[in-house]
Structure 1
Amino acid sequence: MDDSNTILEVSHISKTFRSKNIFGRTTSEVSAVNDVSFRLQKQRTFGIVGESGCGKSTLARLVLRLIEADGGRVMYQGHNLLALGGEELRKLRRDIQMVFQDPFSSLNPSMTLLDNVAFPLWVNGTSKQDGRIAAHRYLEAVGIPRSSAERYPQSLSGGQRQRVAIARALVLEPKIVIADEAVSALDKSIQAQALNLFHELQQDFRLSMIFISHDLHVVELMSDTVMVMYLGMVVEVASVEDVYAQPYHPYTQALFKSTPSMDVTHKKLDGFKLSGELPSPLNPPSGCRFRTRCPMAMETCAEHMPELIEVGDGHTVACHLYGEADVARRAI
């Protein structure tokens, strides 16, 4: 992979949440994100997919330092964001903005749409007048007319609110936008409009994007590269074409098998439908965390945690079903 084209590099980032009793002693630990690494390429979209509770949103918040990581690095423009503070961190944070799942809770109901969008600029020192001029421009870019700028969030539909949230993320002219389940709360018809809008804005503003979703079809539509997560860990990474043509990990295969499709010509992948619930992150399974739901689990799966190995050009998978001999055989 071309390092010169990498805009964001996340290396070995982890987070464990700890509960303590009144005496300050740790009583329980939740392993939310475990040793995750990935690279985001300039003006490309990196998709992250997995069931609810797999650590996708926590990972996004770790990248932005909305939650402090236990370890690892987040490299942007030669700086480790996890090691910065004060004004230096604030300046770089302007370049990485987030669109949250629930637009209503992320907007201030007591402020007009115009002021909601202008607010990030005011916080960063822009005058009231200049902030509102810029806010008008970005509201119009996402399809909110100037005549609606003085309305309040509660008067809008869910799709319109999400457009305002997108405008607010763009008003600081970021290089990277993280969309965390940004369309999952919308009706399907509105989802399509929002996804088309993301595509258009990515081209117009030359954005790099991290797109998080539990919906495989949405990730396929939006992404160039896909990372599949399970219970805080990475199980497969590949280009969107490769992972949708040939998923290797049993969990990825099960996700495809369990996802409904309205396309009668859609390829039916071999595998099993995903069943049961995620194990508790308070007490994750030993070895491979997916083994308790995997019909192909072996003895070694309980004893050793699988490492990510390359099974194709840029296609990596963490599964004991694949070893060096298997990869060499598949290459023949």
Structure 2
Amino acid sequence: MDNILEVKDIGKTFQVRSLLGRVKGGVSAVDRVSFSLGAQGTLGIVGESGCGKSTLARLLMRLIEPDAGEVNYRGRNVLDLSGASLKEVRRQLQMVFQNPYSSIDPKMSVLNNVAFSLWANGVSRQQARKTAYEYLDAVGLSRTHADRMPGSLSGGQRQRVAIARALVLKPEIVIADEAVSALDKSVQAQVLNLFQDLKKEFALSLIFISHDLHVVEYMSDEVMVMYLGRVVEKGPTERIFNHPAHPYTRALLASAPSLEVDRAAGSGAPALSGDLPSPLNPPSGCRFRTRCPMATERCAMETPELTAVGPGHQAACLLLKESLTA
């Protein structure tokens, strides 16, 4: 599978200022994150709230400017582009946001919400509305919904509008940031199946961000696990869920509710406990060490790097590296 998106060592630190405006520290929201996305593949990004998932998504879209790194789309570094060149690439990378109640304009009709992106890119209003009808139909909304205002729609219907708006520019990559977390479980299933169908119909590549492990497992070909801004494990979905290597991944899986009592991925692993440390003052060395039952003194002194633990499978754990080299 050819990679269409290559992200290299991207990072972002937000300055924290006092009431007098003095810089008193920084929050390392995303720290040297690297990954690739294949054509028509789906990368799932998972982790607790505050791990940097949403910040990473906004960095990829340049809604936030990164401090370092590269975002290469088909060989072009998006971070070096501006003006018409950036606008051209942005058409190929679209985003579906978490909250369907705030991500679409409540003062515009459903049809105009979807057509607006086309107008902004020079398409005539007549043609834009015609195309918008087609994409509303593709996401399962009828023409009777098109003239309604967003306030009259359910959460699932609003998210379908947001998906249609993302697709109307015919992007190659869609970033879904917690796109089903605000929906009821029954509606979640409908929207997830819709994503799967649209991925095939429009030959899409997806970056699917969620804190729900079951959703990530269902949607993804590959999974990347983040903790306090860093990648702690990544690899094929089957390996991540059946042979998790990092203590954090194993703890997440053990903490996730499941009807499978003897599920191998979580068996024997302690459930996740304790609170996420403050990103203002993250632990030295391995950032997970304050919650890791296997942590040693070395974990406080050295920062682990991603190490190969299987085909396409990497994890960042000093103890794991020791066992592999022993």
Normalised by the length of structure 2, the TM-score is 0.97
Is 1:271 matched up with 2:281?
no
Q: Report if the CA contact (8 A) 1:237-1:316 is conserved.
A: yes
Which moved further from structure 2: 264-273 or 207-216? Answer: 264-273
Alignment of 1:108-123 (within 5 A): 108-123=105-120
Cα distance in 2, alignment partners of residues 274 and 136 from structure 1: 46
Aligned amino acid, residue 61 of structure 2? L
Is 1:38 the counterpart of 2:9? The answer is no
Residue from 79, 88, 92 that aligns with 1:91 = 88
Aligned residue number for residue 316 of structure 2: 318
Partner Cα separation in structure 1 for residue 19 and residue 160 of structure 2: 44
Q: Cα–Cα, structure 1 residues 23 and 188, in superposed 2: closer, same or farther, change >3 Å?
A: closer
Once residues 212 and 294 of structure 1 are traced to their aligned partners in structure 2, the CA distance between those partners, rounded to angstroms, is 24
What CA deviation, in whole Å up to 9, does each residue of 1:193-224 have, x standing for no partner? 00000000000000000000000000000000
3-state DSSP of counterpart to 1:103: coil
Gaps of 5+ in 2: none
Equivalent residue, structure 1, for 2:224: 227
2:6 maps to which of 9, 19, 43: 9
Distance 1:312 1:21 in 2: 46
Distance 1:241 1:278 in 2: 27
Alpha-carbon displacement from aligned partner over 1:85-119 (angstroms, at most 9, x marks no partner): 11110111000000000011011111100000000
Deviation at 1:327, TM superposition (A): 2.8
Q: Which ranges in structure 1 are unaligned for 5 or more consecutive residues?
A: none
| Candidates 168, 193, 203, aligned match of 2:200 | 203
* Off by >3 Å, runs of 4+ in structure 1: 20-25, 263-268
SS at match of 1:166: helix
Deviation at 1:169, TM superposition (A): 0.2
Secondary structure of the 2:59 match is helix
- Aligned residue number for residue 132 of structure 2: 135
Deviation string for 1:207-248 (max 9, x for gaps)? 000000000000000000000000000000110010111101
Structure 2 equivalent of residue 106 of structure 1: 103
2-side partners of 1:287 and 1:190: how far apart? Answer: 42
Q: What displacement does 1:328 show?
A: 6.1
Contact 1:256 1:269 in 2 (8 A): no
CA distance in 2, matches of 1:263, 1:303: 38
**Partner SS for 1:101:** coil
- Displacement of 1:23: 6.6
Q: 1:18 to 1:129 in 2, by over 3 A?
A: same
> 1:306 maps to which residue?
304
For these two proteins, the number of residue pairs brought into alignment is: 325
Residue 276 of structure 1 and its aligned partner are, at CA, apart by 1.4
Secondary structure in structure 1 of the residue aligned to 2:319: coil
Counterpart secondary structure, 1:104: coil
Contact 1:253 1:270 in 2 (8 A): no
Q: CA deviation at 1:270?
A: 1.6
Normalised TM-score (structure 1):
0.95
Q: Is the 8 A contact 1:235 1:317 kept in 2?
A: yes
Task: State the secondary structure of the residue aligned to 1:327.
Answer: helix
